[in-house]
């Protein structure tokens, strides 16, 4: 099962020990790590992300579910991203794109306080004991959540509602007096821009999800082939 994993530690040293343990579990075949990063919460409330020069099989955090999760966990003060992470500062923290519930963000945020550090990873695991045992031995608090499917129906309903409003405005525009046409046209233009932005956002989200899915399939195939070669 594909899951988002967040393990909170008291300091960076423990967090990096936890990250090494996670990658060791991947090497042993207990789990598959698709992407990982270390999120540091500073005393002043700001956050920073550290990712290795080799960011993992999924590449950079740009446009990924994990990238959005990190943005959400970084909080309103913003997240400073290391250059190696390849994630543009100021990127959109999208709850839909993160593909986890708002309650998960709230639970992690209660533990991820200033001066604490988290290992954030997107993984595939068949059972939870290997990760839990290793992380708890290092002193980490484990949070995990299965990734949901990319939202589609709710987005379509939202766009349909806006289109209905747009049609009504256009009908009204055709009948209204000249002194009101300009103001109504401005509202029509604004709503149409919102619809186009929403459609593009949904398109980008689907494309990112498809790209991630294809990458994961290739990763699992490569691991299966490597395991077969060892037999």
Instruction: Write down the pLDDT at residue 11.
Output: 96
Residue 16 scores a pLDDT above 90: yes
Domain shared by 39 and 87, yes or no: yes
Q: Are residues 17 and 119 in the same domain?
A: yes
In the structure, what pLDDT confidence band is assigned to residue 90 with cuts at 50, 70 and 90?
very low
Residue-level pLDDT at 174? 83
In sequence order, the 6+-apart residues with CB closer than 8 A to the CB of 94 are 68, 71, 205
Residues 46 and 107 in one domain: yes
54 and 125, same domain (yes or no): yes
Contact partners, residue 52, CB within 8 Å, separation at least 6: 84
* Percentage of the chain modeled with pLDDT above 90: 26
- Same domain for 156 and 143, yes or no, is no
Q: What share of the chain is helix, strand, coil (3-state, %, to 5)?
A: 55, 20, 25
Q: Which of 148, 173, 205 is the C-terminal boundary of a domain?
A: 148
Query: Are 8 and 115 part of one and the same domain?
Result: yes
Confidence (pLDDT) at 18:
97
Local structure of 115: helix, strand or coil: coil
Domain count, the chain: 2
Structural domain ending residue among the three candidates 85, 119, 148: 148
Q: Indicate if 85 and 27 belong to the same structural domain.
A: yes
Which residues are paired to 161 by β-bridges?
Answer: none
Least confident of 59-73, 99-113, 173-187: 59-73
My answer on whether 91 and 192 are in the same domain is no
Q: For 111-168, how does the pLDDT look when each residue is reduced to its tens digit (9 = 90+)?
A: 999 999 999 999 989 889 999 999 999 999 999 988 765 455 556 767 787 788 888 8
pLDDT, position 231: 66
Task: Report pLDDT digits (tens) over 30-56.
Answer: 999 988 889 999 998 888 887 655 555
Residue 86, pLDDT above cutoff 80:
no
136 in the same domain as 64: yes
CA dihedral 111, 116, 122, 127 (to 10 degrees): -60
Percent of the chain with pLDDT over 70: 79
The model's pTM is: 0.67
Backbone angles phi, psi at 202, to 5 degrees: -65, -40
124 and 191 together in one domain: no
Look at residues 81, 114, 148 and tell me which one is the last residue of a structural domain.
Answer: 148
Torsion of CA 194, 198, 200, 206, to 10 degrees: 180
Residues 8 and 70 in one domain: yes
What is residue 187's predicted lDDT score, i.e. its pLDDT?
A: 81
| Co-location of 55 and 141 in the same domain | yes
| Cα–Cα distance measured from residue 36 to residue 57, given in angstroms and rounded to the nearest whole number | 10
Give yes or no for residue 227 having a pLDDT over 90.
no
Q: Which domain holds residue 214?
A: 150-231
């Amino acid at each position: 099962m594909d899951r988002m994993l967040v393990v909170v530690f008291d300091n960076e040293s423990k967090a990096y020990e936890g990250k090494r343990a996670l990658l060791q579990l991947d090497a042993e075949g207990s789990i598959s790590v698709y992407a990982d990063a270390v999120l540091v919460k500073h005393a002043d409330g700001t956050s920073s992300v550290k990712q290795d020069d080799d960011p993992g099989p999924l590449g950079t955090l740009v446009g990924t579910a994990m990238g959005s999760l990190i943005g959400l966990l970084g909080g309103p003060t913003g997240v400073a991203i290391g250059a190696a992470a390849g994630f543009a500062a100021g990127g959109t923290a999208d709850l839909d794109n993160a593909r986890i519930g708002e309650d998960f963000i709230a639970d992690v945020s209660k533990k991820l306080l200033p001066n604490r550090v988290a290992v954030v990873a997107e993984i595939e695991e068949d059972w939870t004991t290997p990760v839990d045992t290793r992380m708890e031995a290092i002193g980490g608090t484990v949070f995990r959540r299965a990734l949901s499917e990319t939202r589609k129906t709710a987005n379509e309903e939202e766009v349909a509602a806006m289109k209905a409003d747009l049609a009504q405005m256009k009908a009204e525009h055709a009948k209204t007096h000249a002194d009101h046409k300009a103001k109504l046209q401005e509202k029509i233009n604004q709503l149409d821009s919102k619809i186009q932005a929403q459609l593009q956002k949904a398109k980008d989200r689907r494309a990112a999800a498809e790209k991630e899915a294809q990458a994961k399939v290739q990763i699992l195939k490569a691991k299966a082939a490597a395991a077969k070669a060892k037999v």
